Structure 1
Amino acid sequence: MQQQLVELGQKVAELQAATKMSDTINMEIFYWWCTALMITIHAGFLAYEMGASRAKNVLASAIKNLLAFAFVCPTFFFFGWWIYNAFPGGLTIADGASASLPWSLNMGPNLSDNATGVFWAAFALFAATTASILSGAVIERIRLTAFLVLAIVLGSVLWILAAAWGWNPSGWLTTKFGFHDAGAAGCVHLIAGAFTLGVLLNLGPRIGKYNADGSPNALKAHSVPLLVVGLMLIIVGFFGFLGGCIIYNPGGQWTNIMGQPATLSSFAFNTLMGFAGGIIGGWIKTRDPFWMMSCGLVGIISVASGLDLWYPPLAFMIATVTGIVVPMIATWIEKIGIDDAVGAVAVHGCGGAIGVLVVGVFAAGYPNVNGAPPINFFGQFLGFAVMGLLGFVPGYLISAVMKSTGYLRVPREVEIMGLDLVEVPIEAYPEGMVRPAAETAEDKGRDFGGAAPVPAE
């Protein structure tokens, strides 16, 4: 009998160990596939930006997007991940941050660590998303190397610093002020939109965008179908993005990244209701398929901070109203002389701001964990202000320095010819599409806000 009990105890111990390893591997697999889905976001941004560009700039826009992804991944490995773990309390380095340095045993193949690599990968894809948000807004006139510097600063420094402060269980915005941003509307979308606004103020509009009286011209996308399909791919990728915002706890309940109990079911309800509401809002306001899809995206962003909390009809209402409002904001931005080629500031910046602030209105009083204050409007407003400034101020200052040195923007003649002719060794459409004509003599003497018009494609 005693021998049988010993054997039974050994079998129970083996079963427990196997179950624990199975749970660990399931966690690893979950974030692996979240990361794979998030790459679909970048396929979407690639198609979206190529479609939004004119024919003479299609491949230059593609190269810019591909290189942003390629440069952000290694820079996020070398210092971005460390920033997240080093600065949750502010600007002092936290204990244990050395485990995130690139030479740490955790930052490579390690049979005792099944978590760091997949979490790093998901965060690296968040970082690349912020760079892609900037990328679309600045198409057709920014220098490639200037853009890459800006993308690295945004993707591997600024957004992850914001995430350390407000998207981290130890972040000071959460622990001291009750800030709540479950789906990263603030630390990804708001900060990227604010950074983009700062850059656009220095970059200036594309040649031909504005007339002498300041009225805007439509520089039409060369392929609206490609643009719309790209936006739909971004939506597909968002299911990986938002899946990566929830914490898989082997043997226990899911939590949001701040440690509050959450479910994938709540994310599913509210993501789809936000997407649907945004599309309907865009349709009510514009009847434009580009804006319907953009508003579907902004609908998700507008409910992202409270994905774990919203009653689905409330999420639908928030998204629908946001879908009506954001195209009006984009039109106002265009009218005041800011050329945002894809509406990134309105969709991501304003959509992210709405997402953060509505939580302070509709979810105030929701309890926090570990003694942190409950959700409150002041905490949400403070998070909005911090992330807005953390994006806008560096974006404006760095791009201002680049502008003063002539490094920010391509030369006028290159912009008129098209970036593909200068930057790309192949043609996007070698059959059936004619390159743009050269600038005419009569164009040279006309005042288009300091620039001549681009010939029609």
Structure 2
Amino acid sequence: MENFTDLKYILDGFLFVFSGVLVMWMAAGFAMLESGLTRTKNNATVLTKNIALFAISCIMYYFVGYNLMYGDGSSFMGSFSTISMENGADSAYPAAADFFFQVMFVATAASVISGTVAERMKLWPFLIFVVFLSGLIYPIQGHWTWGGSELGGLIAGFSDFAGSTIVHSVGGWAALAGVLILGARKGKYGKDGQVRPIPGSNLTLATLGTFILWMGWFGFNGGSQLALGSKADIDGIALVVADTNMAAAAGAIAAALLTQLIYKKVDLTMVLNGALAGLVSCTAGPDLGMVVAFIEGIIGGALVVFAVPFFDKLRIDDPVGALSVHLVAGIWGTLAVGIFNPDVTIMAQLKGIVVIGAFVFIVSFIIWKILDIVIGLRVDEETEVNGLDIHETGLEAYPEFKRA
């Protein structure tokens, strides 16, 4: 090792790689959470979606999205003339390590959509949409923010440390556009307006998935410090990780207390989503201190308890509560930065939310609609009743269970 610059290069590269591994583990968390909160007859399809969306995101972001997001905004495929996988002599960190870390965020946004459209969407239309999300939709809005263009100054001053809006709300807006076209699961809503619960198959898996996500979030937020080569950097990472943990804990307890007060019982599914909402809520500003993280988490966990029945009143069927967790809490977390960070204004945050949300929702709606017209988004009624697994994958997740 020749000098301090070499040490910083090594440490910064290690942060990207290690954090990327942690964020990749979140893919397992999303798979377990969605499997646990859906029915066994659809679990093989759920698992297929989750591993396929991860693979598609990695491929599309390499060949198209990464250069579009961090280049000059005009170069799509080919030689990576603007952002190269090869390192120059003055590189601050390994370019491949940066790509590896950033691509995990794309897969996270796609995972949000998977849970929202579960149990009635065909496999291939969903995967085709992921191609567009990871290759175009996500990197275009990412170019306006983390890519540095600020959309010609339109969203100047917008701040999102690790992606409450740029990742989580993007997945939420895209999911909302799809589910509005797709419609609710059969039997979810009665003609009299009654909401009929459709219990998930395995709350043990859902809880495991939540803990995996909680753990992976330390890489998601901690790695977004983007440097490990100084005392100030490691102090920043430590604060971010501690804040992230506090927000999750606060969100879980807020949801537990509220469901006890409202329903006279603690609803485990709400507690799980409360923890996740706390995590999403602090993701835009996980460097603002543990008291702020506690407040963000408490409000995020509470929002979930009210947002889930709100979407049901609108007859928007979200089997895993992803819209409440990632879209609603993502908006709150982004606004919270404008409240608690004196260097950021509410107006700048609001402009960013509106511009990014409008872009993602409109483009996603158009793509979903074209897919619906060309190949159809929804399985037929018989397939939905019998379960998607046999029709979509030819397998059953639990073949030894005999259905009545």
TM-score, normalising length: structure 1: 0.81
Higher relative helix content? 2
Please list the CA deviations of residues 28-75 of structure 1 after superposition, one character each: whole Å capped at 9, or x if unmatched.
122111111111100111111111221111111100111101111111
SS of 2:299's equivalent in the other structure is helix
User: What residue in structure 2 maps to residue 187 of structure 1?
Assistant: 166
Deviation (angstroms), 1:160: 2.2
Change (3 A) 1:329 1:120: same
User: What residue in structure 1 maps to residue 236 of structure 2?
Assistant: 263
Residues 161 and 285 in structure 2, CA contact (< 8 A), matched pair in contact too: yes
Deviation (angstroms), 1:279: 0.7
Please list the CA deviations of residues 371-427 of structure 1 after superposition, one character each: whole Å capped at 9, or x if unmatched.
xxxx11111110010121122112222212222335211122211111111123433
Please list the CA deviations of residues 76-132 of structure 1 after superposition, one character each: whole Å capped at 9, or x if unmatched.
001100111235xxxx64xxx68x855559644668565210111111110000000
In structure 2, distance between residues paired with 1:176 and 1:75: 26
Change (3 A) 1:253 1:125: same
Match of residue 390, structure 1, among 325, 337, 359: 359
Q: Does 1:346 align with 2:324?
A: yes
Alignment of 1:426-437 (within 5 A): 426-431=395-400, 433-435=401-403, 437=404
Match of residue 27, structure 1, among 12, 18, 21: 12
Q: Does 1:158 align with 2:137?
A: yes
Q: Does 1:316 align with 2:301?
A: no
Match of residue 273, structure 1, among 231, 235, 246: 246
Match of residue 341, structure 2, among 351, 363, 369: 363
Q: Which has the higher contact order (CA 8 A, sep 6+)?
A: 2
Alignment of 1:55-204 (within 5 A): 55-86=40-71, 93=74, 101-102=78-79, 104=81, 107-108=84-85, 115-172=94-151, 177-204=156-183
User: What residue in structure 2 maps to residue 371 of structure 1?
Assistant: none
User: What residue in structure 2 maps to residue 247 of structure 1?
Assistant: 226
Residues 164 and 281 in structure 2, CA contact (< 8 A), matched pair in contact too: yes
Please list the CA deviations of residues 150-208 of structure 1 after superposition, one character each: whole Å capped at 9, or x if unmatched.
12222332222222212244534889631111121110011111111111000111111
Deviation (angstroms), 1:267: 0.3
Deviation (angstroms), 1:330: 1.3
In structure 1, distance between residues paired with 2:150 and 2:364: 23
Change (3 A) 1:173 1:263: farther
Alignment of 1:432-443 (within 5 A): 433-435=401-403, 437=404
Change (3 A) 1:263 1:173: farther
Deviation (angstroms), 1:137: 0.9
Change (3 A) 1:317 1:250: closer
Residues 82 and 101 in structure 1, CA contact (< 8 A), matched pair in contact too: no
User: What residue in structure 1 maps to residue 371 of structure 2?
Assistant: 402
Match of residue 387, structure 2, among 418, 429, 452: 418
In structure 1, distance between residues paired with 2:103 and 2:153: 22
Please list the CA deviations of residues 214-260 of structure 1 after superposition, one character each: whole Å capped at 9, or x if unmatched.
322111101111111111111111111112211216457439xxxxx
User: What residue in structure 2 maps to residue 332 of structure 1?
Assistant: 310
In structure 2, distance between residues paired with 1:174 and 1:188: 21
Change (3 A) 1:400 1:176: closer
In structure 2, distance between residues paired with 1:56 and 1:176: 45
User: What residue in structure 1 maps to residue 187 of structure 2?
Assistant: 208
User: What residue in structure 1 maps to residue 257 of structure 2?
Assistant: 284
In structure 2, distance between residues paired with 1:288 and 1:244: 32
In structure 1, distance between residues paired with 2:290 and 2:193: 43
Extract unaligned runs of 5+ from structure 2: 260-265
Deviation (angstroms), 1:292: 0.8
Stretch moving more, 208-217 or 270-279: 208-217
How high is the sequence identity, in percent, across the aligned residues? Answer: 29
The AA in structure 2 aligned to 1:351 is A
Change (3 A) 1:173 1:223: farther
In structure 1, distance between residues paired with 2:373 and 2:309: 29
In structure 2, distance between residues paired with 1:270 and 1:74: 33
In structure 1, distance between residues paired with 2:154 and 2:233: 20
User: What residue in structure 2 maps to residue 446 of structure 1?
Assistant: none
SS of 2:5's equivalent in the other structure is helix
Extract unaligned runs of 5+ from structure 1: 1-14, 256-261, 367-374, 438-457
Change (3 A) 1:173 1:51: farther
TM-score, normalising length: structure 2: 0.91
Change (3 A) 1:408 1:426: closer
In structure 2, distance between residues paired with 1:206 and 1:185: 28
User: What residue in structure 1 maps to residue 347 of structure 2?
Assistant: 378
In structure 2, distance between residues paired with 1:176 and 1:392: 17
In structure 2, distance between residues paired with 1:311 and 1:64: 37
SS of 1:245's equivalent in the other structure is helix
SS of 1:62's equivalent in the other structure is helix
SS of 1:415's equivalent in the other structure is helix
Change (3 A) 1:322 1:55: same
